[in-house]
Structure 1
């Protein structure tokens, strides 16, 4: 008998989760989205098996209910769900980027005997919407589960087994650990990126040419500032205490750095950068992290007409998909001037082989 999964919210995450779960032939996917166009599109392109007109009615048929909605909306819907008629052993989960407030809201469900297991697939894309959904989105990405401490292990195993087909790395943590760790590597870096862009905006008023120079490294480290402001508003509010602590630590670190600059001790400054380089170089490169990451390849190409189309032509011939392409005009730490971005590390590896096979251009990975 097929397991019925009801996914509420058919954006990039909900849609990709639906496609990933459909790798299991014993799963039927029912989908709902407040946007009727997204809902119909999901059915038309095969992301879901059935459309739900009313959440309440469809939830009654589900063995697993997944909220793939913004955190604040998930909490609102969880309050509604407590009044719905559900199957006796239904398992409810979510995909939100913060967990403390979600798990607090889930206490009401727990009191009614409804199993809720928090979830967070740590993957994304440069695209959004159900049309961008991909079955492989969660491959090699961490998928964090935050069950209650005394949760029935059998229920956790049921959800874990369901998610295994997505090829994500499923790890259990508690809600407090989740929110602290994601604050460090995901939420707080977004605040830093946004603050750097704000600083650029202020500088650009006095020195208008500044923005024209903001390429290469500046664009790389501030890329996440282009993310959905409403989503990040909710994440920031939900995880504000952890973020406040991180901001205090960052302030102390900046004061330490300012003192290094004022004392101008060359050995101390070099050591500061050397330590940063060592820690950064030891970061894992074979798995997705907390934030969406494109996989960049730097190609040292000669300067002659048509060289860019030549390289992309080779990639197209080998059916290697790229997500972005740009020319780096001024960047002292990278040899290549052509930067090609890929959605997966496998695509980047294929591109390296393709370029080596067809050209004498050198390639670099940063």
Structure 2
């Protein structure tokens, strides 16, 4: 029989996984439900989806895999509707960044033999199916949290399937997953959002902070542009872990304040030296929970047509630019141009090409 896969929700992640499956398994049958009719229409028009349905019905029977890709708070509500369509040989999975709640609901509904929790640690500040792309999950860690009742054979089969989509499967206990993602994903988003709000509330009447907050500030707070609804759901579903992690982080901030208050030269140096060394040890080979930005910075002569010249060089070599602009407030010298790309290969090729044309390129 033809491989049949179901999707509940076709947002950024659901759409990206569906497109990756279509790319690597062009003959499979994809069935999708989404509350947004325009999303279903677009997915059908693009031939990403074979069957678009207005409700969860018989079309989901005999699926090999069913992906729950609705918001975290909605996925658990769909479990009851899907239960009657699950049978031996079907694996139900989700893509939420919080796992405890859905695992508890799966156990309550006696669906553990079918469920392997999932979390592709990839994404974008943009949301929705129109922004989905197959390559979003490429080289991204894809956490799998199987229940104790799923057979080892099924776990290995699903792990191999995820790997075939060019993602990097990692198997974890669901509680350990929530603690880890709370620290490396949820906390940074809260820090970025509170930092932006602090600057907003502290700004001068003529908004000088906003005017000058380019370059580095925009880089470290980029994730504050993510979906407020999504992060509202995440914080509510993982609130106990997040609260505990925040308490510990506040302690770290208080320590930083203490060594600065005391003028502790060695302590201050150690703060920045330790963080630099640890950050530099983090590999660039795979995507984490926060999407990596592929950007090149280069000196540019302050004259008419300077940006156009660089854009022409890149375009003539078939390199697509995602975003481009001069950084006015930065650690670089004057006239630094920031060019952002869609993938690492384009960024690397662009840097080599600009250096060939004798532009000074900075690595960050």
Q: Which residue of 1 aligns with 2:107?
A: 107
Q: In the alignment, does 2:297 pair up with 1:276?
A: no
Q: Which residue of 2 aligns with 1:141?
A: 140
List alignment gaps of at least 5 residues for structure 2: none
Cα deviation, 1:219-264, whole Å, max 9, x if unaligned, reads 1111111110000000011111111111111111111111111111
In structure 2, relative to structure 1, the CA distance for the partners of 1:191 and 1:127 (3 Å cut) is: closer
List alignment gaps of at least 5 residues for structure 1: none
Q: Which residue of 2 aligns with 1:34?
A: 35
Q: Secondary structure at the match of 1:55?
A: coil
In structure 2, relative to structure 1, the CA distance for the partners of 1:315 and 1:256 (3 Å cut) is: same
Q: Secondary structure at the match of 1:106?
A: helix
Q: In the alignment, does 2:333 pair up with 1:338?
A: no
Cα deviation, 1:273-330, whole Å, max 9, x if unaligned, reads 1111111111111211111221121112222211111111212222222222221112
Q: Secondary structure at the match of 2:134?
A: coil
Q: Which residue of 1 aligns with 2:262?
A: 263
How do residues 213-292 of structure 1 correspond to structure 2 at under 5 angstroms?
A: 213-292=212-291
Q: Secondary structure at the match of 2:137?
A: coil
1:37 shift after superposition: 0.7
Contact 1:296 1:339 in 2 (8 A): yes
In structure 2, relative to structure 1, the CA distance for the partners of 1:336 and 1:68 (3 Å cut) is: farther
Q: Secondary structure at the match of 1:350?
A: helix
Contact 2:9 2:34 in 1 (8 A): yes
Q: Which residue of 2 aligns with 1:300?
A: 299
Q: In the alignment, does 2:45 pair up with 1:44?
A: yes
How do residues 1-366 of structure 1 correspond to structure 2 at under 5 angstroms?
A: 1-22=1-22, 23-82=24-83, 84-109=84-109, 111-112=110-111, 114-205=113-204, 208-332=207-331, 337-357=336-356, 359-366=357-364
1:160 shift after superposition: 1.7
Q: Secondary structure at the match of 2:320?
A: coil
- Structure-2-length-normalised TM-score: 0.94
1:88 shift after superposition: 3.2
1:334 shift after superposition: 7.2
1:71 shift after superposition: 0.6
Contact 1:146 1:175 in 2 (8 A): yes
For structure 1, which segment, 167-176 or 21-30, has the greater mean C-alpha deviation from structure 2 after superposition? 21-30
Contact 1:121 1:141 in 2 (8 A): yes
Distance, in Å, in 1 between the alignment partners of 2:335 and 2:78 is 49
Cα deviation, 1:329-351, whole Å, max 9, x if unaligned, reads 12126787111112221121121
Contact 1:296 1:365 in 2 (8 A): no
Aligned length: 363
1:186 shift after superposition: 0.6
Q: Secondary structure at the match of 2:136?
A: coil
1:193 shift after superposition: 0.6
In structure 2, relative to structure 1, the CA distance for the partners of 1:40 and 1:133 (3 Å cut) is: same
In structure 2, relative to structure 1, the CA distance for the partners of 1:344 and 1:207 (3 Å cut) is: same
Contact 1:286 1:345 in 2 (8 A): no
